[in-house]
């Protein structure tokens, strides 16, 4: 599809923007090999992705895409880069690379995780060899994505060592890389499944994170990324009530004029995604196996 020109034509013809979702960037030997593997993309692959993105799009802050959607402005040919979870690897490796290229980006911070850095539950279970589809589903759906409930159900094993780049970055580390087009958004206080929370807890996760990040960085975040990409009408309404300008999910697709600014969709980038596959996905061409 890339060599035939179909991917490029599909990308150019639709009046759409593409928001890319990365998580962590790690040294190449760790790519897809530690923790929750698909979240941890190698630095060399990121270089290749950025070369292609630079050739195919005008890269703007994700907040600019939200602003244009709200104001009825054009979004054709635009792309934005986002990094969920504020991993040390993303902050120390990816963001300096982006600054060198003058690429803007938004890093979405789990405020309590970055105040007391420890491995996220999915990486810990991955390192322990206990992460699979059934476990992930139970943790997110039945246990509400809550780190405390998951730790009680799957007690940590002391013998497992986590590489430093798999930890969330501390707030001081994040603050040091902000500016020059790099900004911070909220990924809630504790990274729960927001769709499973009662109204009071939902408001606390959204407003509490906003206040904590304002205290840490000197400005309130304007955007929130929903943990696990999960949202519903109640979550979107709560995000708007908390004062955000928009909310970002992980539903696959491209952003069209008239999209809901509180349900902005993205192209999630797994660790082993090739440049050609990325070109297809970013053009709306994605093969999905039958269920």
pLDDT above 90: percentage of residues in the chain = 80
In the predicted model, what is the mean pLDDT of residues 208-226?
96
pLDDT digits (tens, 9 = 90+) for 259-271: 999 999 999 999 9
* CB atoms near residue 182 (< 10 Å): 22
List C-alpha distances in Å: 19 to 14, 58, 186, 218, 250. 15, 12, 16, 26, 10
Distance (Å, whole) CA 134 – CA 114: 28
Residue 291 has pLDDT above 50, yes or no: no
Distance (Å, whole) CA 148 – CA 205: 15
Distance (Å, whole) CA 184 – CA 178: 7
**Between these two residues, 284 and 207, which has the higher pLDDT value?**
207
pLDDT of residue 289: 43
pLDDT of residue 290: 38
**Between these two residues, 109 and 2, which has the higher pLDDT value?**
109
pLDDT of residue 281: 80
Q: What mean pLDDT value characterizes the chain?
A: 91
Q: How confident is the model at residue 5 (pLDDT cuts 50, 70, 90)?
A: low
Residue 13 has pLDDT above 80, yes or no: no
Q: Region of 19 please: left (phi>0), alpha (psi -120 to 50) or beta.
A: beta
In the predicted model, what is the mean pLDDT of residues 53-72?
95
Q: Where are the domains of the chain?
A: 6-281
CATH number of 6-281: 3.20.20.370
The answer to whether residues 88 and 40 touch, using CB atoms and an 8 Å cutoff, is no
In the predicted model, what is the mean pLDDT of residues 41-62?
95
The answer to whether residues 240 and 262 touch, using CB atoms and an 8 Å cutoff, is yes
pLDDT of residue 4: 65
pLDDT digits (tens, 9 = 90+) for 180-209: 899 999 999 999 999 999 999 999 999 999
pLDDT of residue 282: 82
pLDDT of residue 7: 60
pLDDT of residue 91: 95
pLDDT of residue 1: 61
Three-state SS string over the chain comes to: CCCCCHHHHHHHHCCCEEEEEECEEECHHHCCCCCCHHHEEEHHHHHHHHHHHHHHCEECCHHHHHHHHHHCCCCCCEEEEEEECCEHHHHHHHHHHHHHHCCCEEEEECHHHHHCCCCCHHHHHHHCCCCCHHHHHHHHHHCCCCHHHHHHHCCCCCCCCCCHHHCECCHHHHHHHCECCEEEEECCCCCCCHHHCCHHHHHHHHHHHHHHHHHHHCCCCCEEECHHHCCCHHHHHHHHHCCCCEEEEEEECCECCCCCCCCEEEEECCCCCCHHHHHHHCCCCCCCCCC
Distance (Å, whole) CA 226 – CA 174: 19
pLDDT of residue 14: 73
**Between these two residues, 225 and 291, which has the higher pLDDT value?**
225
Q: CA nearest 65: which of 261, 235, 278?
A: 261
pLDDT digits (tens, 9 = 90+) for 117-175: 789 999 999 999 999 999 999 999 999 999 999 999 999 987 778 899 999 999 999 99
């Amino acid at each position: 599809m890339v060599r035939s020109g179909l991917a490029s034509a599909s990308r150019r013809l639709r009046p759409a923007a593409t928001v890319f979702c990365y998580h962590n960037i790690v040294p190449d030997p760790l790519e897809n090999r530690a923790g929750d593997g698909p979240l941890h993309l190698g630095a060399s692959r990121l270089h290749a992705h950025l070369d292609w993105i630079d050739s195919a799009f005008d890269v703007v802050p994700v907040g600019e895409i939200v602003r244009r959607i709200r104001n009825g402005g054009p979004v054709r040919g635009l792309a934005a880069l986002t990094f969920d979870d504020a991993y040390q690897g993303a902050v120390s490796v990816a963001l300096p690379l982006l600054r060198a290229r003058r690429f803007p980006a938004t890093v979405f911070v789990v405020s309590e995780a970055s105040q007391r850095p420890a491995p996220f539950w999915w990486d810990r279970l991955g390192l322990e060899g206990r992460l699979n589809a059934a476990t992930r589903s139970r943790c997110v759906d039945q246990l509400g994505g809550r780190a405390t409930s998951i730790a009680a159900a799957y007690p940590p094993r002391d013998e497992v060592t986590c590489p430093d780049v798999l930890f969330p970055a501390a707030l001081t580390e994040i603050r040091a890389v902000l500016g020059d087009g790099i900004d911070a958004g909220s990924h809630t206080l504790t990274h729960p499944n927001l769709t499973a929370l009662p109204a009071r807890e939902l408001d606390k996760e959204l407003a509490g994170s906003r206040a904590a990040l304002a205290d840490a960085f000197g400005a309130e975040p304007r955007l929130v990324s929903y943990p696990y990409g999960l949202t519903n009408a109640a979550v979107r309404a709560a995000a708007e009530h908390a004062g955000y300008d928009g909310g970002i999910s992980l539903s696959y697709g491209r952003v069209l004029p008239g999209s809901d600014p509180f349900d902005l969709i993205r192209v999630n980038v797994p660790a082993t995604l090739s440049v050609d596959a990325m070109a297809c996905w970013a053009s709306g061409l994605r093969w999905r196996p039958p269920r």
